[in-house]
Amino acid sequence: MTIISTTSTSNFYTASAQQLANLQQQATDVGTSISSGNQFTTASQNPVAAAQMRLLQLADAQAKVDTASANKASANLQLADSMMSQMINDINTARQLTTRAATGTLSDNERANIGTQLAQIQADLLSLANGCDANGHALFGGGVQGNAYTLNASGTVAYGGEATSQTLPIGGGQSVQTSLIGPEVLNITDAAGNATNVIDALGALASAIKAGGSAAQSAAASGLDTLANGLDALTTAQTVIGSREAWVALNSESQTAQANARQNEESQVGSTDVPAAAIKLQQLTTALQASQACFVRLSSLSLFNVIGH
């Protein structure tokens, strides 16, 4: 006599249910993969790919921080460049006025008027030297709060900023100074070889020309050499700023290329190959339907069908 074990029957149902559940889960996972565009939703589905994705995502996160920092550096460098251009325009205007004052045909009143205009240019230079960066801090003061320069009671200026400019990371392990400090931009030697700065030199020149007399004409003549030194200092400083702007732009292009490469790698590692996934889903669906049909047929057999007559 054939004996049908209840344990065997139970195992059959359990194994069949597990098989069906496994096929159903696989089909669900593939369907989710197609709809979400991601090859896997949990690291356990593909530990190696998940680890690669984590590294790529960490690099993306760091790149966002570096990009924000590089944009800030670029903005400050552009501000410095723009302000230096205005300073250079001021110096050129001062040179034109001083050239007129150096001629012997002007009256003291005319020279006094030129001296007043030079004093206005001095005030504009001081305002530019105290310009702010993107955070509202001293652009030519190393990022200190407040002004980079203050005007003393004697009419001369004093630098109160940091010894160096701020430095910001721009990605790829690179960093850049986001401006120059005032002394790097404005410090010069006058016509007599004395150390000074463009702001004070303009103030002294304005006062000497206002005073009138033969000394005013001589001061204007020597002042042209001083202003030429100031123009040289400013154009040199602007060239430094321009080279830093170019470096930030070049580095940003490199970072963009790396970001695109990471995006492609992320697509290969983590994105779903929809056509292949659709084929796999169809295969799983077919297998699931066949297994379900087979289970229904087998489970409907009676004990007499199993043991025979």
DSSP symbol at 151:
E
- Neighbour-count burial for 265-290, b at 16+ CB within 10 Å, e otherwise: ebeebbebeeeebeebbeebbeebee
Residue type, position 83, single letter: M
In DSSP terms, 151 is beta-bridged to 157
Using a cut of 0.75, tell me whether the model's pTM lies above it: no
DSSP symbol at 175:
E
Closest to 159 in 3D by CA, of 109, 196, 132, 112: 196
Residues of the chain with pLDDT under 50: 1-4, 302-304, 308-309
**How far from chain centre, in Å, is Cα 201?**
38
Distances (CA, A) of 209 to 25, 57, 91, 302: 92, 65, 16, 121
- Which ranges of the chain does DSSP label H, i.e. alpha helix? 6-36, 47-101, 108-129, 182-186, 198-211, 214-270, 274-299, 303-307
- The answer to whether 133 and 154 are in contact (CB under 8 A) is no
CA distance 86 to 99: 20
Q: What is the CATH number of domain 58-266?
A: 1.20.1330.10
Residue 259's pLDDT is what? 82
Residue 263's pLDDT is what? 79
CA distance 77 to 83: 10
**Sign of dihedral through CA atoms 204, 209, 212, 215?**
positive
CA distance 263 to 259: 6
Residue 236's pLDDT is what? 98
Residue 292's pLDDT is what? 63
Residue 303's pLDDT is what? 46
- The answer to whether 212 and 108 are in contact (CB under 8 A) is yes
Residue 21's pLDDT is what? 66
Long-range contacts for 75-78 (Cβ within 8 Å, ≥24 apart)? 75/134, 76/133, 76/134, 76/139, 76/166, 76/178, 76/179, 77/176, 77/178, 77/179, 77/241, 77/244, 77/245, 77/248, 78/245
Residue 309's pLDDT is what? 47
Residue 1's pLDDT is what? 46
Residue 41's pLDDT is what? 59
DSSP symbol at 43:
G
